Amino acid sequence: MNEPAAPAPPAAHAPAADPSGAGGGLHDVAGLRVGHAQDPRRPTGCTVVLCPPGCVAGVDVRGAAPGTRETELLSPLNTVAEVHALLLAGGSAFGLDAAGGVVRWLERRGIGIAVGPLRVPIVPAAILFDLGLGDPAVRPDAALGEAACEDAVARPPGTPAPEGNVGAGAGCSIGKLFGPTRAMRGGLGQAAQRWQGDTVAALAVVNAVGDVRDPRDGRLLAGSRSADGHRLEGCLAALRRGERPPTLVGAATTLAIVATDAPLDKAQATRLAQMAHDGLARAIEPVHTPFDGDTVFALATGAGPAGHRAAPRGVDPARLAVLGALAADSLAEAVVRAIRRAAPLRLGETVLPAACDGLPGPD
């Protein structure tokens, strides 16, 4: 990732405020707790979402290079009915070790499915590739997973977790379709909204091969740069000119969690995850490539004002359609916020500008 020609981002630059004024995140769904942990030795980390009892989950994987744990059990065809936490981590396949720390943390607190005298915590997880920044031997492990859990419970319920280059977003970059030397900074963002008593929220960790545009006006926020590193070029513009991307093994992935307090069943949570992927497609181009492991989890606590946990699981199709539409909208907003809150990075000769650097672009 050497780029001596690119100017170093000025240290005074800071992530820009989101002009939409949007706020919110997974903390707006009652019972969910978000925690982050970073390894100080290089930009990498993990993010955990602790779930209330009875939380239903679904998942939809559309990238062709995923790294996941316990996603198959989320199928509506399979037996396990609830999860106890979700984990997102850097470190590629090595980062799945962090899920073991979350499992241990939960077990010590007696949280999990009762199996005889034991409690077995269910912690699905997904990882992204950030090994190109710093020492690749440093990656999230079980201790970092436990630290993320401690961070989650240290924050009062309903308090926003930080965004930007934190947790699983610590080592994120985007715009890598034509190689990492033309990349920019990615990160982690959240968003939420309400509809007739239901809350829908999203968290995105954006480490995409592609660029990020603001769906509100189509403006390119960050992504692939020109060969000299001084301008935003954009992946599609380069492809239209006939430029051919290299093969990028282990390069990217956008991870996301959408959540609601509506009482969805497992099949409906899976549908929510499927519909939410449209939010990635609105904000990231290209998305779901052979080099990305794009994965969206969905959580349904069933504890909101419009759906108390005592009610049977499942909502009518019209309500599910609205929740899915809002999940996609919130996820697109979370992607934009991740990029607007990212900070530039210089690590040795590696330079990753961020959207806040205001590089000139094609539009």
Which residues, in sequence order, are CB contacts of 230 under 8 Å at separation 6+?
6, 7, 359, 360
Q: Is residue 11 part of a domain?
A: no
Q: Is residue 31 part of a domain?
A: yes
For the record, the structure tokens of 92 come out as: 């590629």
pLDDT of residue 20: 38
Contact 296, 253 (CB under 8 A): no
Q: How far apart are CA 233 and CA 223, in angstroms?
A: 8
Cα dihedral 208, 209, 210, 215 in deg (nearest 10):
-10
pTM for this structure?
0.91
Contact 159, 114 (CB under 8 A): no
Q: Is residue 4 part of a domain?
A: no
| Residue 196: CATH number of its domain | 3.60.70.12
Q: Is residue 125 part of a domain?
A: yes
Q: Please compute Rg for the chain using Cα positions.
A: 19
Contact 203, 28 (CB under 8 A): no
Q: How far apart are CA 32 and CA 54, in angstroms?
A: 12
Average pLDDT for runs of 10 along the chain of length 363: 35 41 82 97 98 96 95 95 96 97 97 94 97 95 98 94 98 94 96 96 97 95 92 90 81 95 96 98 96 96 61 86 98 98 93 94 72
Strands 295-300 and 85-89: unpaired
pLDDT of residue 154: 97
pLDDT of residue 1: 37
pLDDT of residue 312: 58
The closest of 241, 224, 226 to 177, measured between CA atoms, is: 224
Q: Is residue 48 part of a domain?
A: yes
Q: Is residue 1 part of a domain?
A: no
Q: How far apart are CA 257 and CA 86, in angstroms?
A: 9
Q: What is the three-class DSSP state of 147? A: helix
Q: What is the three-class DSSP state of 83? A: coil
Q: How far apart are CA 40 and CA 163, in angstroms?
A: 17
pLDDT of residue 5: 35
Contact 84, 149 (CB under 8 A): no
pLDDT of residue 297: 98
Q: Is residue 171 part of a domain?
A: yes
The length of the chain is 363
Q: Is residue 12 part of a domain?
A: no
pLDDT of residue 361: 82
pLDDT of residue 305: 52
Contact 251, 291 (CB under 8 A): yes
pLDDT of residue 228: 87
pLDDT of residue 249: 67
Q: Which residue is it, tokens 């359609």?
A: 321
The full DSSP string for 12-63 is T--PPPPTT-----GGGSTT-EEEEEE-TTSS-EEEEEE--TT-EEEEEE-S
pLDDT of residue 77: 95
Q: For the chain, what is the domain count?
A: 1
Domain hosting residue 249, numbered range = 26-347
